[in-house]
Amino acid sequence: MAMVEVTNRCNMACPICYADADRAAADVPIATIRTYLEQLLQVTETPIPIQISGGEPSLRDDLPEIVALAKQLGFRNIEIITNGIRINREPAFLKALKTSGLTAVYLQFDGLKPATSLRIRGQDMSAVRRGAVAAIRATGLCCTLAVVVTRGVNESEIGPIVDFGIDNIDVVRAINFQSAARFSGRFSLNDHYRGYDLPELLALIEAETGIGADTFRAEHLGHPSCNAMSPIYIANGVREPLFKYIQKDDLLAFLGARRREIILDGFSGKRDFFFRHLCNANAWRLIAKAAPIFGRNPHNVLQRKTILLFAKSFMEKQALDPQRMRQCCYAITGQGGVFSFCAYNNLHRFANPRPDPIAKPRGVSR
């Protein structure tokens, strides 16, 4: 996945903003956005899922035009990263985005308590978050809840957020727990803050939800210190992690040499993925290992409700690892090229306007 930033304007002033977003910042011209998207295609060869970000991208009235441009260039999975304020207030704007080609919303969602967002975001966002989810549902889109796990602030919200996601599983398709990171932007909670590395984050999720850290897989997507995921199925009212039954070697054998293709096809939807990759004897033998979830009928893969849990740990400057940057599966495309997200935010965002491409990844990890 890759991010393209279309503005640094924002209607909030979050104490932990890594981009130092500003109410008075300028928008990126659409012609420049086209260049950013085209250079991403040169690196990835085929269109990958993209996130349109800011600042707050919904402040641009021409955002539907930007979404349409991405679709025209061949991007099929187009998501906006948003705080939810405008889509909550103006559902018609979200409908216009869907008509232009938007496929999902990545919604800032740090917790359900007003005190949590007051600390992390500087204002009570609890009603806005719920209203945004309702607007996404009404528009017929899906969303990922983006949870910035901030040490000493919202760890106790992890369990209730998972409960909220499952209660709204018709629209919430994933929850991404990402460790807050001090890049070179604005981080004013305290001078002694430190983020979570991936094992710590997984242990925290286990402690707060009861979903085992060992049911998250980290070997198939980017560097194993960066990302992990766990598909959770709801079977007879019970939360069942798929990877409780399907082990690392099973998953890697299923992905095989077509790993990148199969992972990208995961964005096509459950039904399309089933008929492309699971309607064969080898896949059904694999599904049979998860009989407590699916019973003896592989078609229950389509009928069981599911939510994806992700864990993401970013690198701060003192911990930058060249190997992790080379295997990066989350890039940012902008002035100067296509970069590992962590490399760009630590080394280039506030540096020379034409950054040295030495940290440029070799391409999306395959």
For 206-238, the pLDDT digits (tens) are: 999 999 999 999 988 889 999 999 999 999 899
pLDDT computed for residue 297 by the predictor: 82
How far is Cα 289 from Cα 308, in angstroms, rounded to an integer?
19
DSSP-assigned states of every residue in 72-137: HTT---EEEEE-SHHHHH-HHHHHHHHHHT--EEEEE---SSHHHHHHHHSS--HHHHHHHHHHHH
Q: Give the chain's mean pLDDT.
A: 91
Q: Which residue has better confidence, 318 or 215?
A: 215
**How much is the pLDDT for 352?**
52
Q: What is the DSSP letter of 296?
A: T
User: How far does the chain reach from its first CA to its final CA, in angstroms?
Assistant: 12
| CA-wise closest residue to 155 among 129, 137, 177, 171 | 177
As a whole number of angstroms, the distance between CA 67 and CA 49 comes to: 12
pLDDT at residue 35 greater than cutoff 60: yes
Cα distances (angstroms) measured from residue 350 to each of 53, 99, 299? 17, 35, 51
DSSP 330: -
Q: Residue 131 in contact with residue 93, Cβ under 8 Å?
A: no
Which of 16-30, 145-159, 322-336 has the least mean pLDDT?
16-30
Q: What is the pLDDT of residue 116?
A: 95
pLDDT for 31:
97
Confidence of residue 191 (pLDDT cuts 50, 70, 90): low
List domains and CATH numbers for the chain: 2-196+313-359 (3.20.20.70)
Please give the helix or strand (H or E) that residue 238 lies within, else none.
strand 238-241
With pLDDT > 70 as the criterion, what percentage of the chain qualifies? 95
**Strands of 305-312's sheet in order across:** 238-241, 227-235, 305-312, 172-179, 142-149, 104-108, 78-82, 50-53, 2-5, 331-334, 337-340
The CA distance from 108 to 12, in Å, is 12
Nearest one of 233, 200, 112, 217 to 164, comparing CA atoms: 112
pLDDT at 37 over 80: yes
Residue-wise pLDDT tens digits, 110-162:
999 999 999 999 999 999 999 999 999 999 999 999 999 999 999 999 999 99
Distance CA 191, CA 286 (A): 48
**Rounded distance, CA 18 to CA 345, Å?**
8
Count Cβ atoms below 10 Å from residue 158 Cβ, excluding itself: 23
- Contact status, residue 209 vs residue 188, Cβ threshold 8 Å: no
CA 353, CA 73: separation in Å to the nearest integer? Answer: 26
